[in-house]
Amino acid sequence: MKRNQLIYYLRTHDCVFLREGKKHTVFVNLSNNKTSTIPRHREINNFLARKICRDLGIVEV
């Protein structure tokens, strides 16, 4: 999955950008106050994308 597609999906489910790290971007889900990091790679493995969604408490991709 492309990184931009995952970020778009997260933003449509009430997740917002929190901060930038050196190699990751941190997003937070405002409805349940859970956070997760997204690596800065063009392609993100589907397994990792599902884990990020589970960490944020949203419906899987």
Per-residue pLDDT tens digits of the chain, which is 61 residues long: 999 999 999 999 999 999 998 999 999 999 999 999 999 999 999 999 999 999 999 976 5
- Report how far Cα 3 is from the mean position of its chain's Cα atoms: 9
What is the Cα–Cα distance from 4 to 33, expressed in whole angstroms? 22
pLDDT of residue 60: 63
pLDDT of residue 4: 96
Q: Are 40 and 25 in contact (CB under 8 A)?
A: yes
